[in-house]
Structure 1
């Protein structure tokens, strides 16, 4: 699981039937430098995330990827590669 930031939403003209009514968001997975504000998010890789929590632009989420992203829908099959598992209120970093 990784932390990501929502940077936009995805609008489709056609959708797979199992995703009908779902919200798809555009998110950037964050590294430690990103959480500290040391890098520019515009240079990062973007992911399309299945979002059942209606996260807004600028919010940070807990991102599940790969086979684990489809587990909340078991036994139903959904073609998702990334899933918003939680909206994060705060993220605290400590120096080690």
Structure 2
């Protein structure tokens, strides 16, 4: 699982019938700089992704998401997904690891 922030919604005119009840959201992955507040915009340099969401995530929400084959696990039949939101985060605390051992 990875942490991301929702930065937009995607509207489709047609979608796979197995995806009813959800929608697509635009997500920017959150790295160490975003999680510690070092990057106040919250927009990382990482590529944005499109994720299926049936939890009701909105713009500005922090989420957990999974990518790849794991994104299809909640569905009974093979579904064309590469990412899915799996949790809405109320809050989190992140401390970067120290470099000394």
Q: TM-score range by the shorter chain?
A: 0.7 to 0.9
TM-score by length of 2: 0.83
Structure 1: gaps spanning 5 or more residues: none
* Other structure's SS at 2:66 match: strand
User: Of the two, which has the highest radius of gyration?
Assistant: 2
Higher helix share: 1
Q: Deviations over 1:36-67 (max 9, x none)?
A: 22234164311111101011111100111101
**8 Å Cα contact 2:64-2:88 kept in structure 1:** yes
Partner of 1:13: 13
**Alignment partners' CA distance in 2, 1:80 and 1:49:** 8
**8 Å Cα contact 2:69-2:82 kept in structure 1:** yes
Q: Tell me the matched-pair count.
A: 95
- Over the residues paired in the alignment, what is the CA RMSD in angstroms? 1.7
Does 1:93 find its partner at 2:94?
yes
TM-score by length of 1: 0.87
Structure 2: gaps spanning 5 or more residues: none
